[in-house]
Amino acid sequence: MLKGFKQFLLRGNVIDLAVAVVIGGAFGKVVAALVADLLMPLITMLVGKHDFSEIKLGGFPLGDFINQLVAFVLIAAAIYFFVVVPVNAVIARARRGQAPPDPTTKTCPACLETIALGARKCKCCGEAQAQ
C-alpha cells in the first residue's frame, strides 16, 4: 500500500501540479499587488474613490460585490495584458518559419461539417467521400 502511494506521489503529473499550485499562489500575490498598488490608485484618480462598500440598493449591500467585481476585472485584465499577450507573442516569434502541421481533418463538400481526413463517409449527412 505504501509502495503504491509512493509511486502516486512521484508521478510527474502530481509533482507538476504541486509546482503549478505553489507558483500560482506566488503569482496571484504579484497580480494582487499590481492591482492594489498600481491599478486601483489609477481608478481612484479617475473616479475619485476606490471603495464602493457603502453603496446599497434598496437595503441590499451591493458595494462589496462591486468591489470584488472591479478587483476581478482588473486582475483578469492584468493577467491578459501582462502575461497572456507577451507569452503569445514569444510563442509566435519562436514558431516563425516553421511549416504548419499537416491537416488531420477535412470539410464535407455536401454539408460543410468537419470530418476526419481518412473518413469514407460523412458522419453527419452520409455523403461518400473521395479518397
Are 61 and 106 in the same domain? no
Look up the domain containing 82 and give its range: 2-95
pLDDT in tens, 71-87: 788 888 888 888 889 98
Q: What is the pTM of this model?
A: 0.49
pLDDT in tens, 102-117: 888 888 888 888 888 8
Give the per-residue pLDDT at 27: 83
Are 107 and 64 in the same domain? no
Tell me: pLDDT of 93 over 80. yes
Question: Which grid cell sits at 34?
Answer: 499590481
Burial code (b: 16+ CB inside 10 Å, e: under 16) for 22-48 equals: eeeeeeeeebeebbeeebbeeeeeeee
Q: What percent of the chain has pLDDT over 90?
A: 2
Among the listed residues 114, 95, 96, 97, the one whose alpha carbon sits nearest the alpha carbon of residue 106 = 114
Among the listed residues 26, 37, 25, 40, the one whose alpha carbon sits nearest the alpha carbon of residue 72 = 40
Confidence of residue 2 (pLDDT cuts 50, 70, 90): confident
Tell me: pLDDT of 12 over 70. no
Are 21 and 59 in the same domain? yes
pLDDT in tens, 17-72: 877 888 888 888 887 887 778 877 887 888 777 677 777 888 888 877 887 888 78
Are 80 and 108 in the same domain? no
User: Could you give the number of structural domains in the chain?
Assistant: 2
Residue type, 23: I
Are 76 and 111 in the same domain? no
Give the per-residue pLDDT at 50: 65
CA geometry: angle 97, 99, 100, nearest 5 deg: 120
- Rounded to whole angstroms, the Cα distance separating 46 from 48 reads 6
Q: Widest CA span of the chain, in angstroms? A: 69
Residue type, 41: P
- Rounded to whole angstroms, the Cα distance separating 17 from 24 reads 10
**What's the residue count for the chain?**
131
Give the per-residue pLDDT at 89: 92
- Rounded to whole angstroms, the Cα distance separating 67 from 64 reads 5
Are 30 and 71 in the same domain? yes
Tell me: pLDDT of 8 over 80. no
